[in-house]
């Protein structure tokens, strides 16, 4: 499915964030594999079914950067949660000085995303890479959810926001979300790039999310304004 062009572009993001950000490992405590393992074991013990393969539901960066071997992928819908920028990033896509925001699933509504069937025969070995990626920062909680797809429902692991985390922002207004995404940047790049790649990947898959679409437009406006201000300052100081 073709979609109209996004207002936000990689060129605009690069022009607004020309300077790389150094990593600050102290900005976010990362949980070790040793401490993560019991949680994954508990998730697998409470897995509702084991006869349809291991599935993971992605709604953000997992769509465009899954980092696991995929046997099958489908567009699917989860009910009872919605996609929202509600998780603060002080590292990776943000920093202490310029914290960003990333997506999580929060309570209520519905979410369309991509559900992946993973390759691998050992459940722990197969899931640990994605479990590590999503859980080591303490911002998410694992959940088994039913994902409705055109080929029938599947049960998948997904990651919802951990409301007890100090990274949980609650329900911010979209204007405030856009402000934080426009300024946030870490050593993996700006928050705006994360938004751009997610919005583009969703649209390419035929997932037209109004929240993402409004945000990418609001962030593009803010980056254009910031770039103009920088250009005017450079001219004024010559």
What are the residues facing 19 on neighbouring strands?
none
Helix spans in the chain (H): 10-16, 33-45, 61-64, 123-135, 174-183, 191-204, 210-236
Q: Is 17 helix (H, G, I), strand (E, B) or coil?
A: coil
What one-character DSSP code corresponds to residue 237?
T
Handedness of CA 81, 85, 88, 93 (dihedral sign): positive
Handedness of CA 137, 134, 108, 200 (dihedral sign): positive
Q: Is 108 helix (H, G, I), strand (E, B) or coil?
A: strand
- Residue 236 has φ and ψ, to the nearest 5°, of -70, -30
Q: How far apart are CA 85 and CA 90, in angstroms?
A: 14
What one-character DSSP code corresponds to residue 186?
E
Q: How far apart are CA 216 and CA 73, in angstroms?
A: 25
- Do residues 194 and 92 touch, judged by C-beta distance below 8 A? no
Active-site annotation holds for 232 = no
Handedness of CA 167, 169, 174, 178 (dihedral sign): negative
Which of 97, 134, 193, 224 does the annotation list as catalytic?
134
Which active-site residues does the annotation give?
Answer: 134
């Amino acid at each position: 499915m073709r979609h109209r062009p996004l207002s936000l572009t990689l060129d605009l993001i690069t022009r607004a964030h020309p300077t790389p950000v150094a990593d600050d490992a102290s900005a976010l405590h990362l949980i070790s594999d040793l401490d993560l393992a019991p949680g994954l074991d508990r998730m697998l013990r409470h897995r509702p079914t084991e006869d349809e393969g291991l599935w993971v539901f992605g709604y953000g960066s997992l769509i465009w950067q899954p980092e696991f071997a995929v046997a099958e992928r489908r567009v699917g819908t989860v009910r009872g949660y919605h996609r929202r920028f509600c998780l603060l990033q002080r590292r990776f896509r943000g920093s202490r000085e310029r914290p960003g925001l990333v997506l999580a699933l929060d309570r209520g509504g519905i979410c369309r995303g991509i559900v992946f069937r993973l390759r691998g025969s050992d459940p722990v070995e197969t899931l640990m890479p994605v479990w590590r990626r999503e859980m080591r920062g303490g911002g998410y909680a694992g959940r088994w959810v039913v994902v409705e797809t055109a080929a029938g429902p599947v049960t998948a692991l997904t990651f919802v926001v951990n409301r007890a985390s100090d990274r949980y922002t609650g329900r911010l207004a979209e204007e405030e979300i856009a402000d934080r995404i426009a300024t946030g940047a870490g050593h993996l790049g700006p928050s705006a790039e994360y938004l751009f790649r997610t919005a583009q990947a969703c649209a390419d898959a035929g997932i037209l999310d109004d929240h993402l679409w409004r945000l990418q437009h609001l962030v593009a406006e803010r980056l254009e304004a910031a770039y103009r201000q920088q250009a005017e300052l450079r001219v004024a100081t010559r």
